[in-house]
Structure formats: C-alpha cells, structure tokens
Structure 1
Amino acid sequence: MLARAVREVEAAAQRGRVTPAVRTKFQAVALLLRDERARVQAATNGSDGHRAEQLKRLDGIATILATTAVRDAGLLALLAEDAVASDAARALKRDILKSVGVEPAPEEVPPAESPAAPATLERRVVPQSVISRQLANPFLAPDFSAAPQRAPRPRRLAGWELMAPLLSSFERAGSGAPACMDLPFPTSRFTPAGSELMPHQAQLVAAAAAGHRTFLLADEPGLGKTAQSLLAAEAADAYPLLVVVPNVVKTNWAREAGRWTPHRAATVVQGNGDTIDGFADIVVVNYEVLDRHVGWLGDFGFRGMVVDEAHFIKNKTSQRSQHVLELSERVRARVPRPLLMALTGTPLINDIDDFRAIWQFLGWIDETGPRGELMDALEDTGLTPADPGFYAAARRCVIDLGIVRRRKVDVAADIPARRIADLPVELDGPAGRSIRAAERELARRMVARYETALAARESATVVEGIDHDLVRRVARWELKDATTAQAGENVFSMMRRIGQAKAGLAADYAAQLARSAGKVVFFAKHVDVMDAAEQTFTRQGVRFSSIRGDQTPASRQRNIDAFTSDPDVAVAVCSLTAAGVGLNLQVASNIVLAELSWTDAEQTQAIDRSHRIGQTEPVTAWRIIAAQTIDARIAELIDSKAGLAARALDGSDEEVSSSADVQLEALVTLLTDALSAVPQPGAA
C-alpha cells in the first residue's frame, strides 16, 4: 500500500502537478513510513533476515519520498521531524491503516489555536541586506524567465534502461581509458595582474571561455581548483555566483576570491547572515547553515553555482544534498546555460552510485535517466546497451560533458615539488570570542606598560608618534614575564588556546584530504590538540596512528609501521617536536600543520618527513591559520624570517633566527597595532 501510494505521488511530482491532495498523500505516507519503521525495529518476533528485508523495503520507499521532495520545497518541508501533520493527512493515514486491516491507535490532536509552522520554515531567514538589494534597484531583480526548452527529437534509446549501463561504463573502464575531457589551449586572458595560472588551470578557464558550462572538476588536492572555479566564472560571466563549501574552507574561498577576482565583491554567510553584503557578486555559504538560507538563495538570481567537496552530497536523502539539488534545479530553470561546477578530489567514496547526486547537480541526469544533452550524445553514438562498443562510447559521452581529472604526477612540471598552502579558518563561537578578547587584553596590558614607561623616563627628548625603541623594550619585558610567570594570559597560552580551537577544523580538513588524496600526516605541538584531533578522526571513522614523545621506542615503531604499511590507516597524528625529525613518512604527500611552530626550521623539518628522497609526488603542506588573530601575524613572521634565513645562509645549516625572534616580533607587531589605533603624544 505504501509503495503504491508513494509511486502515485512521485508520478504527480514528475508531471509538475503537486496539488493539495498530492501533498496530503505525501505526508500521510511519510507518517506511516516513520511509524512502520519504528514498529519493525522494535519487533522481537521473526528472524533478523526478515526484519532486514522489511527495513530494506522501507528504505526504498524513503528514498522515493526524499527524491520526490527535492522537486518541490513544500514537500521537502513536510519531511521535517516536527512538521505539523494536517487534519487531512491524519485522516488519510487512518483510512490507509483501516484498508489493510490495522486499527489506528488513538492519537493526540494538537490544539487548533496553536499550530506550529514546519521547523525548516521556522529556521529560514532572509538577511536584511538581501532585502535591501531587492528594493534598492529594480534592475537587480533576478530574471525568472524559464530557460529555453530543447526541441523534441526522436529517441532511439527511449525504451532502454540507461542509468545502470552509464554507471557500469566507469566500472568497466580499463587502466588506459581517458579520464578527462579534451581541453583547449591555455588562456591567461582572465588572470588578474600580478598573478599567474599554471597551464593545467588555464586550460579549464579556456574551456569556460569557449562556452563549456558544466564541470566535474576532480583534480587532486593541491592543483588549484578554487582559482580555476573563480576564473571560469569570470570567463563565463556567471555572476552572481553561489559557492557552497565545507565550513573549514569558507574563509579561504573569500580570500582566494579577493586574489583571483579582486574586482568582484565576495561575502561569506555566517549564521543567520546578519553581516553579509547583499550586493556582492560572490556568495559563499557552508553546508551547515544552508537549510536556513535556501529560500532566498533560490530567488537571488545566481547565474553560476560551485559546490566544493562535492562528495558531501553523495547521500541524496541527506538534507544538505536535497538543498544543493534544489538550488541547482532552480538555477537551471531560470538561467539559460548557467555555470555549474562540482569540485572534489574523490568523486567516488564508496561505489559508482556516488556519481548520481553529482551528475544530477550538474543537470546531466534526473531521477530516472539521462537529460537532454547527455541523451543527445548517447543517441548520436548510434549504439544501444546491447552493442559491445556502447560502454566505452557512453563513458566518453559523460566525460565530454565536463569531467576534468588531473593528478599531481601528470602535471608535475607545472607545480613545485614542495609548497606550503595557507588555509585560514574563522574561530566562531565562545572559543573564538574568548581568544580575541584575550588578545585585546594582552594588547591593553602592553599599552599601559608602554604609557607608564613613557611617562616615567627622564629624557627630555620627545619622540613624535610611536617610540619604536620603547615598543621593543616593552615587548622584551612581556616576553620575559611570559617565560617565567605561572599565571596570566600571555603569547604562549594564547597560541595554545588557538591551537585547541583549530583542532577540530584542522582534523576535519585532514580527514577530507585522506578520503580524496590518500594518506595524510597531521602535525600539532600540544598533546591536547592531538587528543582533540584524534577524537574527530574517531567520530568520522578515520583510522589513524599516533606518534608522540611519551611512547616507548617499540610502541612508536609499531605506529609508524601501521601508517606506512597498512592501507586502512589514513592519518598519522604526530607531535611537532617528537616526530618532526628522524622519521620517514614519504608514503604521504599531504601534510596538515594544525599549529604553527616558532621557527621556519621546525616547520621545514616536519614537512621533510614526507618531502625526502624516494618521494614520487609533489608534497603540499597545509597550514591551518586562525584568521584575525595573532596566529596570522606569526605565520607572516615565520615566512619573513625564512626568506631572510635563505638569503643569509646561502646553503649553510646554521639557523640565523631563533624562536625568540618570532615571539618578540609578534608582540612588537601586536603592541604597534594597538598604539596605532590611538593618538600618540607629539603626533600631528
């Protein structure tokens, strides 16, 4: 009964006839499905096999409900756990139960005077700046005219089941089968002055400039997918552009937008979006808050959409997948040939079915089979699934729609053998606010010390503006106190707190890298940061080895061997001081530096655990930087000291700058910035 009812709802949704009666039947099925699942799971009679078979059938019905709901926002809201059941839906539920001989249990009807709106609709918001954008200029209103429809053509393959053969064509591909569409000659026409694309990046931009509009960009991590996407949008004039990303990289996307498209305003959606710029060309939103913003995002008038780490949407029954698919559907319905890009280093996580949601986001398929352009390409092959050459031809058809896959080893001539990539993250919530408050308090303390020393000195000489010599003396006093005092906030305790706040984000990014690029080495300075990271890996089901200073030599070696030899151990969680030397971890080519060291030499030693003789792939070290904190200043200081050391050493192994230099300069910078914010005695 449930299966028949849900098929009727699905058919109505596919015809675009979602009437109130259809919504009532949809909600009644959802309510019955929820009850039936609970009943089967709680049942004690019957075999485990029988129970599993029943749950499998219920899962099939649930899948149809979810995929049908993607087509209509009203249906999607009815799937919420606390969505209010209408009187009609409850009555239909009782009728269905009676028709199969089940006496409905008496249920409590909520008072008519206090109906509750569906939770998903309650949470949805429209930021004030977006309303201002809509009201400020009528010419900014999005064009909601329907995209032109393809003229129907005879379908030789109309009677064939094509999805299974399409997916199977990728499983059957041999090792020499192409994995990337043909790309044109590179172009640098859209690259801003002072920046330079690598040839493989410029090829994708050239494809967008030539008119290609859908891409599954599956380059390995470290090959610059962000820059390619932003400049592809520039080449396609796909603005405004929506970018959906994991939380850990949204700040980096805004920074990269400023670098590669400096003339385009970018805004990041945080929480309810109170601080966003409604007039921005690029809107960056993370999966975690997409549910409350999907309404206004769908009406914004985007001409392009990028989904980063697109394997996040592989589960089509998940809420984030449904929201992404809904938004792409609305973009395609309202804009002729929009730019749609799915970015992922690993489009396949579990099996070939992981392609489905990504292909549907790109508009290549729908729930049942290929859509227009892909169907036309399959027709043009002149083959059917019964022909031996169909699978190779079908795979080529899909790849030509926009699959772009390059590996590091394939473009090794374009990229440096070793590079450091900074990934700024925002520290939200109480921890972030506490760290920023502590930094302000440290700055205030040093300012007071500076002003006291300035008032007490006997010299009659008046220094206009900031006395930089005195600033350095105050910074030295503060640093000396920090190394001897047992209590109070100082530069060392702040860096530790920042490391703790970054731990989860850094571990989350390392897990993403492990899934998409293979083994990852994760470095941290403090034990509690390592502990927090390992807890994150455990929650996500990522196996890891732990290499610490308090281990016995035998235990340490077992953990090293597990990481280097066991293919299922994805991450080595290493102490920056205990594992930064004497290890060979070249099995990994990606390194995550969750905490900053105080010297470039210590950082280099850690990277060289993987970047060493025998390494066959370019090595990328990802530094996780807490934006708008002293963490970012210290990263800049380490880099500047590294440049000075490189010039001074000229091949020597001697370290010309110590950790104390960076610590001192960090305090000097913090105090100078604080003094610059207030008028100084003697200043004009």
Structure 2
Amino acid sequence: MGKRERSLLAESAGLHEAARGVLADHVRALEAVRAALAPIRAELVGRELESIPVSRLKDVTEGRLRLGALEAAGFGSVRAVYETSRYALRQLPGVGAQTADRALGAARQIARAVEETVSVRIDVDHPEPRTTALVIALRTLVEAGPELRRAVDAATRLDARLGELLPEARPAGGRLGMLLAGRQKRERALAALAALRELTADAGARDVRLLLAQASADLLRTPASELEAWVDFELRSPEYYSQLAEVSEHRSDVAAAEGFLPSEVAERVHAQELDDTRRRVSLRGYQDFGARFALAQRRVVLGDEMGLGKTVQAIAALAHLAADGHSHFLVVCPASVLINWTREIGARSTLRALPVHGAERLEAYEEWRERGGVAITTYDMLHSLPAPDAAVGPDPADVADGPVGPVGAGAKPGMLVVDEAHYVKNPDTRRSKAVAAWAGHCERVLFLTGTPMENRVQEFRTLVRYLQPALLPAIQHGTAAAGPHAFRKSVAPAYLRRNQRDVLSELPALVQVDEWEEFSAADREAYLRAVEDGNFMAMRRAAYADAEKSAKLGRLRELVAEAAGNDLKVVVFSYFKDVLGTVRQALGADRQAQATDQQAAGRLVFGPISGAVPAARRQRLVDDFTAAPGHAVLLCQIEAAGIGLNLQAASVVVLCEPQIKPTMEHQAVARAHRMGQVRPVQVHRLLATDSVDQRLLHLLKNKTRLFDAYARRSDTAEQNPDAVDISDSALARRIVEEEQLRLAKEAG
C-alpha cells in the first residue's frame, strides 16, 4: 500500500465532503423556504377554519362531543378551538378534561385536512413582507435551475456509497494499517478500494465534481434584493410555483394528475426512468408523469388541456431518448407553430433543432439525416420527404393505405411527435397518409392534441389506428357514453389527458405564450410596401392584409378552435379596428360553416368593442359575452376595452400584435386576469418574425427589467401609466428607419 492508494482515499474523501456539502446547502435552502412558507400557510389554514362552524367537530368525533359549553363560551368556529390551548379550554365552565381534549383533537384533525388542500398564491401586484420573504427564499432554488436536482441526486448517492466504502477502505491507506488488520478486514479494504477507484473514475467521466461545485455555488449566493426577486418571479413564476409545490410537498389530486389511469398502467409509467441530462427545464409533477407515459407506452396520444405544457413534455421525452443514445427525432406540426417548436427545443433542451420547411427542405432533410437532431416539418411538407425504410410497430396496412411519397433510406427517428394531431382525423387526406406512413416506421410515436377525445370517439379511433390498432375493438361509442373515467380506462394504454383545474392548483393564474409566425407571401408583400412608404401603422397590421393567406389569422383560428373544444371563452385584442373586422369575418365564417343555425353561429362572436361604441353598449356586449353558455369570442380594441371592463369570463386572451406601450397590454390582460377569475388565464401574443413586431419587442426589452419593475410599482406610475412608456412617434420613426435599412441590405 503506497502513495497511489492514499491519493485515491484522499480524492474519495474530498468527493464525499463535496457531496455532503451540497446536501447541507440544499437542506438550508429548503428550510429557508419552509420557514417563510409556514406563517403564510398558517394564515390560510386559519381563514379556512374560521369559515367552518364549531358544530362540525361533532362529525370528526362521530357525535360523541358535547359542544353546548363551548358554544355558550362564544366559540363559533373551528379556528377558535384550534387556536386555544388545552389548559384554557379546561378552564371554561362546563368543559371537562375529556371534552377539551376531544374538541382540540378534532380541531387539529380538521386543520391537518385543510392544510393538505390550501394553495399558496403569490400576489405580485400586492407584495407584502411574508410573501416577499418567500419569493426571496424560492429564488435561490430557482436560480440553481434543473441542474440542482441532478446534483442533489448525485450527492445523495455518493454520500450513501462513500459513507460505506471509506471506513472499509481506510486500512489500505498505509502498510501498517494493512499489517494490523486481520485477513477479513484486509480483503474488505481491498474490495472497497477497488470500488472507490471505479466510483471516482465514473464521477470524473461524468463531471460530477463540477456539478456539485456549481450547485453549492448557486445555493450559497447572496440572497436577492426584494426588487430583484419580484422581477424574477414575474418572469419565471411557473418555476417558482414548481419549487414551492416540491418544497411544501403539496400535491394535486394524484389520480387526476395521472389522468385516472388504471393502476397497472400508472405503475408501469412510474417505473419508467426519465433522464434529464439533456433537458434545460424543470417539470411539474404531472408533466414528469406525462413524459414518462410517452416513453413507457411508446405509441400514445397526450391530450392535455391547452396551457398544460404538452410541448415541454414532448421535449422531455426527446431529451431522455437523446441521453439514451438516440440521435434522430422528427416533429410534425402546423406551419403556424413551426417557429415555436424550433425556439422551444433550443430553450428547453440541448438538442439541435432543424426546421425542414420551404424551398430548401430537402437540403435540410439531408443535413438532418447526416448530423441528427430534431427535424421539424409541417403537415404539408411531410409527404415530400423520403420516409425511413425500416418498418417498426404496427403493420402499415393497419394504419393507412400504404406509404406515401418516396420511401428511401432516411434515418429512422427515435421518436415521431405529431402536434395538433386532430389534423389527421380524416384518414383519407394526404397529410393523414403521410403521418401514417412515418408512424408505421417508428417505434415511438407521440400525438399531441388539446381537443378532448372522449367527445369525438370516431376521431380518436382514427388516431389510435395509427398507434395501437389492437385497442380499436375496445373503443366504441358506448364507452364514451359511460363517462370520461370509463372511456379513459378503456383507452389507457394509448391516451393521457389532464385538465387545468385538476393540476394547476399552485400555478399562477396567468400563462403567457409568444406565438411566432412567419409571414405568408401575401403578408410579406404588404409589409414591404408599408416599409417602403414609411407607414408604421401599416407595417404593424400588414400580417392581416390578406385574410385568406394570413399566417397570424391561421394561428388565431387554431387557438380559438382549441378553446372551443374545451368550452373556454376567448377575448381578442387589437389596436386596430379594421384588424378586428378582419378577425370577426374570419371567425364568423368559420362558425357559420360549422353551425346548422346561422343565427346561433353569429352569437358566438361578440363585438368589436371600440372607441365608437358607447360605454353602456360596451358593458352590454361584455354581459352578453359573459352570459353566453360555453365557448364564445369577444373582440376588443385594446385602447377602448383595456380599461374599466371586467372580462373575467374569458380564460384565453389573444393579442393580435404587440403594443407600443407595455402598460396597454398589461391593463388589457388585467381585464381577464383579476379578482374572481376561477381559471388560469392563457395569454397568446401573435408575432411575426423579421418584422416590426420583433423590432418593437427588442427595443422595449432593452429597458432594464429592474427599472421597469420600479417604475411600474411607483406611485407615479400607478397614477400615470404613460410615465414609463417610450414616445410613440420616436419609437415609430426609429423602427421604420431600421426596417428600411435592414431590408435594403437584404435586397442588396
């Protein structure tokens, strides 16, 4: 035994110390959050207990509790009993020791049940010391990012393993130690030394030391200031709520979060590992389950309600497969979301996203074949791409009329993801046949759709035919008639759906999504004319110049259709009255094409509310929109409807273009996202790449986040929202000049 063995022991001890340091730092961060959370949860529990009459204590004790003396003493609620000591209760006239103990025990039992159900909501517009302390504590965990979970898991494993091996291997640190040890101890020491050598080599190969060092550095950073923490919370609130749910161990209904799957399917999903080394985002519990479901069941439909992050779950599944050695993946989606997929893959994972679209799609496809990554193409382009020739999964004859297009030696995807999968509900269309051909060649296929399938059984049968044809005999119309639980049980091997109300109890009530679209040819022609004329307002609404070919209108129709499928109300904002007229015509035509009663179809779209509409008429439009059963759409000019109207009936907000004044958007969204809103509000901002939209956002974002937050929270800003906005005319001139220069360079 010599220098090499001592060096190995020292290295192992250092690794053990680093692992224990991360675990200790993590515990301190968790305790800081729990300490900040405790008084907030206590107050929430207290409020709930205040609303429960003291008579309910009898229910807990099955009627064995006599409450007359407590009620006579003025105890009207469970909270009053819960917050009173056993000694104080026993001093009340007519209350004996047994009654006091039973009453207090029953109150504590109810309090524990309440504590499991209360959800902490952080009000960013009304910060107070307790929530500020909570946000600051949470920021430490959020800043550490998804790598923190990997570091803690690695540290936990190392701490356990090294804690066993180091004492066993200690005699091998010197000749004397080995001489004094008995034969069995020497054998154990040598075996432990060999295990340490293997463990440290593996840790070195996986950069575990760097992972642990970074985690400790993140956890030991100086706490953020109040302002920094609140600004960061506004930008990344889902990540804060995700950490809050994990720390508080507050969970939504497990059965609902798991889509009411049968136990045997749920157990198989739980057993599926999910590697996060190629992922850059933390997952909510239900999202983690959804990604595992896609991997465990291999060929499935993920049908979560809109706003639950189906894209993120798909990316998590792709990242797992990439970490497992798969190199090629394919995403098929409508053209309107191709840009979003490209951006999301780059932001949420380390995977390489490669759009395969347009005139150079075949060159991009060949690059994908050679280099791998995630190829992203559209339904209209898929049929023209050579499909891989190694068939896996169900017989193509079972899923369509046979392969479509040239079938060449393309790389077989590790997973095929089909977004907005209800687009292929008609098996006779070209797009459906192309998807079927690719699905027949892929072992793993993930269909994404927010449309509830239990209401459209025939469409769902079509989707299952692409995925798991053996399930078709079990999927009949009568199954859906028996209720959603019975339906989901019959299709559990291939279908997972969760609803917002079941799984978003701790998430903020506002989810914002930027919907990036590429100009259609007609859009671009109108835009170039507007830039040439120096017409800023025409540039802003060029994307709606041709309603039939407008990319933004296409995406808006999709959003409204998905909201209709989920019985959600939609409010559409635009600065321009003529844009709203175009939107009304487009949506009205859609409704009339789908409805048998033309008058009923017209009632689905209300407005537009504009400056020319009297205030009383505006309110009547809002009242009619609110009273309409189920889905409806309200069109609003943002300056007219952004202030003073209560639009909380809407849970989906669409902004047709970005606004020059950030406060204008904020106030408009606040019409729906306000006190009394019972559903999470989804805000979709329609944006065009390489356009005034992109320039406008870039210039507005150049103002520092801290200044924005300070100005917005100051008394002056509350009294005069225009105080923090850039001059309209100056901004318009600058954008027009920059766009003219950019397009001139491109032309040259």
Question: Scaled by the length of structure 1, what TM-score is found?
Answer: 0.56
- CA gap 1:390/1:599 in 2 versus in 1, 3 angstroms: closer
- Contact map agreement 1:200 1:414 (CA 8 A) in 2: no
Task: Report the 3-state secondary structure (helix = DSSP H, G, I; strand = E; otherwise coil) of the residue aligned with 1:278.
Answer: helix
- Contact map agreement 1:545 1:569 (CA 8 A) in 2: no
- Contact map agreement 1:200 1:411 (CA 8 A) in 2: yes
- Contact map agreement 1:417 1:619 (CA 8 A) in 2: yes
Which residue number in structure 1 is paired with residue 514 of structure 2? 422
- Contact map agreement 2:355 2:364 (CA 8 A) in 1: yes
- Contact map agreement 2:321 2:414 (CA 8 A) in 1: no
Q: Unaligned regions of 5+ residues in structure 2, if any?
A: 1-254, 386-403, 592-600
Q: Given the alignment of the two structures, is residue 324 of structure 1 paired with residue 435 of structure 2, yes or no?
A: yes
**Where do residues 40-79 of structure 1 align in structure 2 (5 Å cutoff)?**
none
Aligned partner of 1:217 among 280, 286, 302: 302
Shift of 1:673: 8.9
Which residue number in structure 2 is paired with residue 522 of structure 1? 572
- CA gap 1:185/1:617 in 2 versus in 1, 3 angstroms: farther
CA distance in structure 2 between the aligned counterparts of 1:392 and 1:507, rounded to whole angstroms: 32
Which residue number in structure 2 is paired with residue 548 of structure 1? 609
Aligned partner of 1:230 among 315, 320, 328: 315
Greater shift, 663-672 or 599-608, is seen at 663-672
CA deviation map 1:451-473 (0-9, x unaligned): xxxxxxxxxxxxxxxxxxxxxxx
RMSD: 3.9
**Where do residues 311-460 of structure 1 align in structure 2 (5 Å cutoff)?**
311-329=422-440, 331-332=441-442, 338-348=443-453, 351-365=456-470, 369=473, 395-396=488-489, 398-399=491-492, 401-413=493-505, 415-436=507-528, 439=531, 441=532
Amino acid at match of 1:585: L
% identical aligned pairs: 28
- Contact map agreement 1:638 1:662 (CA 8 A) in 2: no
Which residue number in structure 1 is paired with residue 329 of structure 2? 241
- Contact map agreement 1:233 1:239 (CA 8 A) in 2: no
Task: Report the 3-state secondary structure (helix = DSSP H, G, I; strand = E; otherwise coil) of the residue aligned with 1:416.
Answer: coil
- CA gap 1:553/1:358 in 2 versus in 1, 3 angstroms: same
Amino acid at match of 2:468: G
Which residue number in structure 2 is paired with residue 645 of structure 1? 708
Amino acid at match of 1:612: R
Q: Given the alignment of the two structures, is residue 618 of structure 1 paired with residue 723 of structure 2, yes or no?
A: no
CA distance in structure 2 between the aligned counterparts of 1:230 and 1:205, rounded to whole angstroms: 8
**Where do residues 97-136 of structure 1 align in structure 2 (5 Å cutoff)?**
none
CA deviation map 1:506-560 (0-9, x unaligned): 4323323323432111111112211221222123227311132233455434432
Shift of 1:592: 0.8
CA distance in structure 1 between the aligned counterparts of 2:614 and 2:434, rounded to whole angstroms: 50
Amino acid at match of 2:344: E
Which residue number in structure 1 is paired with residue 559 of structure 2? 510
Greater shift, 221-230 or 643-652, is seen at 643-652
Which residue number in structure 2 is paired with residue 202 of structure 1? 288
Greater shift, 504-513 or 429-438, is seen at 429-438
Which residue number in structure 2 is paired with residue 604 of structure 1? 666
Task: Report the 3-state secondary structure (helix = DSSP H, G, I; strand = E; otherwise coil) of the residue aligned with 2:332.
Answer: strand
Task: Report the 3-state secondary structure (helix = DSSP H, G, I; strand = E; otherwise coil) of the residue aligned with 1:522.
Answer: strand
Which residue number in structure 2 is paired with residue 655 of structure 1? 721
CA distance in structure 1 between the aligned counterparts of 2:670 and 2:328, rounded to whole angstroms: 42
CA distance in structure 1 between the aligned counterparts of 2:332 and 2:721, rounded to whole angstroms: 43
CA deviation map 1:65-106 (0-9, x unaligned): xxxxxxxxxxxxxxxxxxxxxxxxxxxxxxxxxxxxxxxxxx
CA deviation map 1:305-348 (0-9, x unaligned): 1111122222333333333223312x14xxxxx22111111133
CA distance in structure 2 between the aligned counterparts of 1:672 and 1:344, rounded to whole angstroms: 40
Q: Given the alignment of the two structures, is residue 490 of structure 1 paired with residue 551 of structure 2, yes or no?
A: no
CA distance in structure 2 between the aligned counterparts of 1:640 and 1:593, rounded to whole angstroms: 21
- CA gap 1:629/1:677 in 2 versus in 1, 3 angstroms: closer
- Contact map agreement 1:198 1:414 (CA 8 A) in 2: no
Q: Matched residue pairs, number?
A: 436
- CA gap 1:408/1:662 in 2 versus in 1, 3 angstroms: farther
Shift of 1:635: 2.4
- Contact map agreement 2:256 2:498 (CA 8 A) in 1: no
- CA gap 1:390/1:229 in 2 versus in 1, 3 angstroms: closer
Task: Report the 3-state secondary structure (helix = DSSP H, G, I; strand = E; otherwise coil) of the residue aligned with 1:521.
Answer: strand
CA distance in structure 2 between the aligned counterparts of 1:310 and 1:507, rounded to whole angstroms: 17
- Contact map agreement 1:245 1:284 (CA 8 A) in 2: yes
Shift of 1:614: 0.6
Q: Unaligned regions of 5+ residues in structure 1, if any?
A: 1-173, 333-337, 375-384, 442-487, 680-684
CA distance in structure 1 between the aligned counterparts of 2:499 and 2:488, rounded to whole angstroms: 19
Shift of 1:634: 1.3
CA distance in structure 2 between the aligned counterparts of 1:191 and 1:521, rounded to whole angstroms: 40
CA deviation map 1:542-585 (0-9, x unaligned): 73111322334554344323321122552112111121122222
CA distance in structure 1 between the aligned counterparts of 2:555 and 2:639, rounded to whole angstroms: 18
- Contact map agreement 2:571 2:652 (CA 8 A) in 1: yes
More helix by share: 2
| Greater RCO (CA < 8 Å, at least 6 residues apart) | 1
Amino acid at match of 2:671: R
Q: Given the alignment of the two structures, is residue 560 of structure 1 paired with residue 665 of structure 2, yes or no?
A: no
CA distance in structure 1 between the aligned counterparts of 2:579 and 2:520, rounded to whole angstroms: 17
- Contact map agreement 2:426 2:462 (CA 8 A) in 1: yes
- CA gap 1:242/1:492 in 2 versus in 1, 3 angstroms: same
Task: Report the 3-state secondary structure (helix = DSSP H, G, I; strand = E; otherwise coil) of the residue aligned with 1:354.
Answer: helix
- Contact map agreement 1:630 1:666 (CA 8 A) in 2: no
- Contact map agreement 2:569 2:630 (CA 8 A) in 1: no
Shift of 1:627: 1.0
Task: Report the 3-state secondary structure (helix = DSSP H, G, I; strand = E; otherwise coil) of the residue aligned with 2:685.
Answer: strand
- CA gap 1:551/1:678 in 2 versus in 1, 3 angstroms: closer
CA distance in structure 2 between the aligned counterparts of 1:213 and 1:621, rounded to whole angstroms: 32
- Contact map agreement 1:598 1:663 (CA 8 A) in 2: no
Shift of 1:621: 0.5
- CA gap 1:395/1:313 in 2 versus in 1, 3 angstroms: same
CA distance in structure 2 between the aligned counterparts of 1:412 and 1:566, rounded to whole angstroms: 25
CA distance in structure 1 between the aligned counterparts of 2:685 and 2:660, rounded to whole angstroms: 13
- CA gap 1:555/1:228 in 2 versus in 1, 3 angstroms: same
Shift of 1:228: 1.2
Shift of 1:232: 0.5
Q: Given the alignment of the two structures, is residue 260 of structure 1 paired with residue 348 of structure 2, yes or no?
A: yes
Aligned partner of 2:276 among 179, 190, 193: 190
- Contact map agreement 1:268 1:284 (CA 8 A) in 2: yes
CA distance in structure 1 between the aligned counterparts of 2:487 and 2:526, rounded to whole angstroms: 56
CA distance in structure 1 between the aligned counterparts of 2:542 and 2:316, rounded to whole angstroms: 37
CA distance in structure 1 between the aligned counterparts of 2:673 and 2:484, rounded to whole angstroms: 41
- CA gap 1:285/1:502 in 2 versus in 1, 3 angstroms: closer
- CA gap 1:497/1:234 in 2 versus in 1, 3 angstroms: same
- Contact map agreement 1:519 1:590 (CA 8 A) in 2: yes
Amino acid at match of 1:546: G
Which residue number in structure 2 is paired with residue 588 of structure 1? 650
Amino acid at match of 1:505: G
Aligned partner of 1:308 among 403, 416, 419: 419
Which residue number in structure 1 is paired with residue 375 of structure 2? 283
Amino acid at match of 1:219: D
CA distance in structure 2 between the aligned counterparts of 1:432 and 1:362, rounded to whole angstroms: 39
- CA gap 1:636/1:404 in 2 versus in 1, 3 angstroms: farther
